């Protein structure tokens, strides 16, 4: 939820200029998720996450709150993943390339967006696409990297793709999400982004639960080539989410790693 609210904040910045942009979503998933499913009930996504802020104003991320409301006019049942969020914020002329390696999920995504000419779904490794499709003709846009972190060497893959991305598209915005149990993964992602040579690198974390090194406590991300004012917007977002999601146990941070705006 934190990452998706942040995603809308960055998209709002891109929309402020008239020139078209492209978004590459490297791990797109299926686009929409049923909050009554067994998986959603098991993870507590509704009970401990979006359900606590649904229907409440979110001044720091109004586009995110509006999309949730538009999708759930009769009560909270559906959650939008990154491709659905991005698609809803595209203008005519903007475009989304959504990559999904899982065959069934990819086919479902293709079926869902087959009538939207702004969206292209590719059944391939999103990391590979970073090397193949960048830089885009638009020369503006975002690479959204949201891997499942199911592989032990995921941070090595991220380091490689960030180096590749910096060489191919040094001015593009790159957002890399990671789960928080302790500081290990976040520190590795931050180090990889700095080593790649990007400018204006921002690290943000929001953890509504205690960090014990075993259970998921929250999530974080690193943004490379961070747009102007995004850091202030993210601080406001953390302030708003704290009483809704975690209260006294919540910890959060928004800090510049390089090139403060």
Active site residues: 146
Could you give the count of Cα atoms lying within 13 Å of 111 in the half-sphere of its Cβ?
Answer: 8
Q: What is the dihedral of CA 261, 211, 54, 104, to 10 degrees?
A: 90
DSSP the chain: -HHHHHHHHHHHHHHTSSS--EEEESS-TTSEEETTSHHHHHHTIIIIIIHHHTTS--TT-HHHHHHHHHH-TTSS-EEE-HHHHHHHHPPBTBEEEEE--SHHHHHHHHHHHTT-TTEEEE-S-HHHHHHHHPSPTT--EEEEE-----STTHHHHHHHHHHHHHHH-TTSEEEEEEEESSSHHHHHHHHHHHHHT-SSEEEEEEESS---SSS--EEEEEEESPPTTHHHHHHHHHHHHIIIIIGGG-EEEEEEEE---
User: Using alpha carbons only, what angle is made at residue 240 by residues 82 and 6, rounded to the nearest 5 degrees?
Assistant: 25
Residue 12 CA neighbour count, 13 Å, CB half: 16
């Amino acid at each position: 939820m934190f990452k998706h609210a942040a995603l809308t904040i960055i998209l709002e910045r891109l929309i402020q200029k008239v020139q078209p942009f492209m978004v590459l979503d490297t791990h797109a998933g299926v686009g929409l998720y049923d909050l009554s499913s067994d998986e959603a009930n098991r993870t507590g996504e509704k009970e401990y996450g979006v359900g606590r802020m649904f229907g409440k104003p979110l001044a720091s991320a109004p586009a995110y709150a509006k999309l949730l409301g538009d999708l759930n006019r009769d009560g909270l049942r559906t959650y939008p993943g990154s491709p659905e969020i991005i698609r809803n914020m595209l203008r005519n002329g903007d475009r989304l390339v959504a990559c999904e390696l899982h065959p069934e999920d990819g086919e479902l995504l293709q079926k869902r967006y087959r009538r939207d000419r702004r969206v292209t779904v590719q059944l391939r490794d999103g990391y590979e696409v970073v090397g193949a499709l960048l830089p885009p003709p638009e020369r503006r846009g975002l690479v959204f990297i949201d891997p499942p972190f199911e592989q032990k060497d995921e941070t090595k893959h991220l380091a490689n793709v960030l180096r590749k991305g910096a060489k191919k598209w040094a001015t593009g915005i790159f957002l890399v999400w990671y789960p928080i149990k302790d500081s290990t993964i976040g520190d590795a992602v931050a180090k990889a982004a700095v080593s790649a040579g990007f400018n204006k690198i921002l690290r943000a974390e929001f953890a509504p639960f205690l960090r014990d090194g075993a259970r998921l406590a929250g999530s974080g991300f690193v943004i490379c080539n961070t747009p102007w004012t995004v850091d202030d917007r993210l601080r406001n977002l953390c302030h708003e989410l704290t009483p809704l999601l975690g209260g006294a146990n919540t910890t959060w941070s928004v800090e510049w790693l390089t090139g403060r705006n």
